[in-house]
Amino acid sequence: METNKKKLTTASGIPYAENENSMTVGPRGPILLQDFILHEKMAHFNRERIPERVVHAKGSGAYGTFTVTHDISKYTRAKLFNYIGKQTKTFLRFSTVGGEKGSADTERDPRGFALKFYTEEGNWDLVGNNTPVFFVKDPKKFSDFIHTQKRDPYTNCKSPTMMWDFWSLNPESLHQVTILMSSRGTPYGYRHMDGFGSHTFSMINAKNERHWVKFHFKTQQGIKNFTGDEASAMRGVDPDFAQHDLLHAIDSGDFPKWALKIQVMTEEQAKTYQWNPFDLTKVWPHADFPLIDVGVLELNQNPDNYFAHVEQSAFAPAHVVDGIGYSPDKMLQGRLLSYPDAHRHRLGANYEQIPVNRCPFAVNNYERDGQMRVDGNYGSSPNYFPNSFDDIVADEHYKEPSWDLGTSLAGWYDRNAEGENDHYTQPGNLYRLMSDDEKHELVKNITGAMSGIEGPKRELIINRQLCHWFRADIGLGMAVAKGLQVNTDEAMKAMAGYV
Ligand code: HEM
């Protein structure tokens, strides 16, 4: 053997003599049990797959840098924003939502925009989408909704019937469905779309004052979408279109950028604003809450191994850093607990030690042991608190101001009660803002998707959803009815018993 070559070894470092032929009794005889290297190879291979994400399974990721360009210290004391020019390392994972790990990148779907900032005061995960709103406003509905986007239990196929049944029964979804059915539902890869924190979050400044905020990442590459037909065609040509596009851009030095901007609402404004500021199915119109510049995010490094970095990445909306806080948005509240639970299931109890997830700064606590503990487990230092030996303390300066929740009555409140049930004005406004071409494409996509509804409840589901399009905008309702060849007079008579 040439001396400058590395020796092939087992996982425990023992050099192999032979890697292509198993040890046998004679050239034509059976394999010996003692060829444990064969067993090791087969056994490790059998364990290569980990559970795919229950949603957002197909994705692409890259490392980058966030640079502060504007002073927002009057809103937040978060250290990552504390001077102009400050840079923070980031990792961003994009994804589609409903498809499996091997599904096509150009499916009509929202896109995930999950961003990790490795800040000196811990990792901040902003786990958003390319849309500012969502389909439902209570986390109890999330799993039901997702089931309608996945495979039918009987046919094992995607089912437009399930999707439109759910959407038509949950008119709060209309705003997000309108965006989904527009060309923004089929972005041209991941570089040409915006990202949104979507929820309302809070910022806390040095005086311990709270403001409500929304986060927006505006693509500097310009918005570019596939038409529905182009997206369908690309599914066959290159199902990994978005992965190739991102990878090649970064490899060739064409680093994609997004401008981070925020919208800010005072606690006083929130009390009287016409829309519930914590309702994830609503936007804060820019005319009322203009965008404020913050900084620039640039993606500039492809991970050298997809599984190690992208598949094992784990983002949690609960992970905010000092100066940034939650809000009473019910969906955000549900997500605070759901994600770390998903990570423990998918990656194990010590998933925070995986390099892509690990905080590169201080981590001190009394969590110990568990499967795959690979960081030394804090050696001989105490594993309980309080103790008389170390000097680890909980620092009260990080406490945020108390929340005034206005009531102490606990109960199951209807999310869509009077005053919270205008599902139509904002999607209608969105439709009316569209150009004629965009309206045409939207109607084509809606009618194409709704044509897939089948079975005994077909007419009921179509008519129920048509009512929602009409309520958003008469012109939109008429166009969809025409596209579906529905006789609206007959449909209204048929629906009289239901609405
Ligand atoms: C109550 C509502 C929701 C629940 C319970 C929920 C739950 C989950 C779960 C369990 C995962 C898989 C996590 C993993 O295995 O690593 C996930 C992924 C994800 N969710 Fe949600 N989700 C909700 C709503 C939302 C909303 C509103 C957004 C965006 C505004 C969103 C964006 C994402 C993204 C981007 C990912 C992929 C993260 C990654 O790239 O690893 N989700 N969600």
DSSP per-residue string spanning 160-209 = HHHHHHHHHH-GGGHHHHHHHHSGGGSBSTTTTS-EE--S-EEEE-TT--
Catalytic residue among 19, 46, 56, 423: 56
Tens of pLDDT, residue by residue over 337-374, are 999 999 999 999 999 999 999 999 999 999 999 999 99
| Ligand 1 pocket test target in 50, 52, 55, 172 with most atoms within 8 Å of CB | 55
User: Do 342 and 479 reside in the same domain of the chain?
Assistant: no
Verify cis geometry, omega within 30 degrees of 0, for the bond prior to 171: no
| Residue 69 near residue 44, CB atoms below 8 Å | no
Q: Please indicate, yes or no, whether residues 162 and 253 belong to a single structural domain of this protein.
A: no
pLDDT band for position 405 (cuts 50, 70, 90):
confident
Find the 99 Cα to ligand 1 centroid distance in Å.
Answer: 13
Expressed in angstroms and rounded, the spacing between residue 12 Cα and the centre of ligand 1 is: 37
Mean per-residue pLDDT, 128-134: 98
Residue 394 lies in a domain: no
Q: Residue 491 has what pLDDT? A: 77
> Which CATH number do you get for residue 309?
2.40.180.10
Does 105 lie in the same domain as 15? no
**One domain, residues 114 and 251:** yes
Q: Supply φ then ψ for residue 354, to 5 degrees.
A: -65, 130
Q: What is the pLDDT of residues 28-43, one digit of tens each?
A: 999 999 999 999 999 9
- Counting the structural domains of the chain, the total is 3
> What is the model's pTM?
0.97
Annotated binding residue 83: no
Any idea which residue has 């490790």 for tokens?
44
Ligand 1 in contact with 197 (CB < 6 A)?
Answer: no
Is residue 327 within 8 A of residue 75, CB to CB? The reply is no
Last residue in a domain, options 353, 374, 392: 353
List the catalytic residue out of 39, 70, 123, 129: 129
Domain assignment present for residue 384? The answer is no
Q: What average pLDDT score do residues 79-101 get?
A: 98
Question: Does the residue 98 lie in any domain?
Answer: yes
Whether 129 is catalytic is: yes
Q: Could you say which DSSP state residue 480 is in? A: H
Q: Which range of residues forms the domain containing residue 23?
A: 1-48
**The ligand 1 atom nearest the CA atom of 134:** 27
